[in-house]
Amino acid sequence: MKTGGRADTIGVVLAGGRSQRMGGGDKGLLAIGGRSLLERVIARLAPQCAGVVVNANGDPARFSAFALPIAADSVPGFAGPLAGLLAGLDWAAAHHPEMPQVASVSGDCPFLPRDLVSRLAEQMQSAGAPMAIARSGARLHPTVGLWDVSLRENLREAVLQRGLRRVQDWLQSFDYVVADWETTPIDPFFNVNRPEDLQRAVQFAGLVD
């Protein structure tokens, strides 16, 4: 278990999707400047949390180089990021019940802010909200947030009983807060969805590495 910043937070990297817009496969293992997307995401997130777990499906051995726990979806059929968030919340509750919150990030966002968790926590605590979501410019990033672990049973019902798949659909049931970031020199939540995004990420890496 890697150790890092906040002692009350587990980081969850959401890497359980099928990467259809990239042609399938493990998008997180694609390289930017000699380092994979996942390596870059973990390097940004790990120093901010007490530990990190990767949400991924299929054979976990392909991620063995990261030496991190792997939490697969408990909901079958690649049910989307809500299922990944649920897997992260369940893992935290089972393995670190003393930790009250989970910070989730997308596995294809290689330039995450280094103050992500602290700023989300500040907004969440000052408002007494159960969750805080990242925003850059006018764009909300629902998969990048800080979540109270006590939300997991509500989330389980939303996924299994109501069939919700998008994080933003679940958010509508709560009073959540946001933390804002600038989009210069790059948007810190730039994500790699398509092959052309990978090329842009190579250029961006030269600005922030």
Indicate the number of domains in the chain. Answer: 1
- Residue 70 has a pLDDT of 97
1 domain residue, yes or no: no
pLDDT along the chain (209 residues), means of 10: 72 77 68 93 97 94 94 86 96 97 96 97 96 96 97 96 94 95 95 89 84
82 domain residue, yes or no: yes
Q: Answer yes or no: pTM beyond 0.95.
A: no
119 domain residue, yes or no: yes
- Residue 20 has a pLDDT of 47
Block residue for tokens 């790059």? 186
26 domain residue, yes or no: yes
- Residue 80 has a pLDDT of 87
Report the CATH number at residue 198.
Answer: 3.90.550.10
Domain that holds residue 47: 6-208
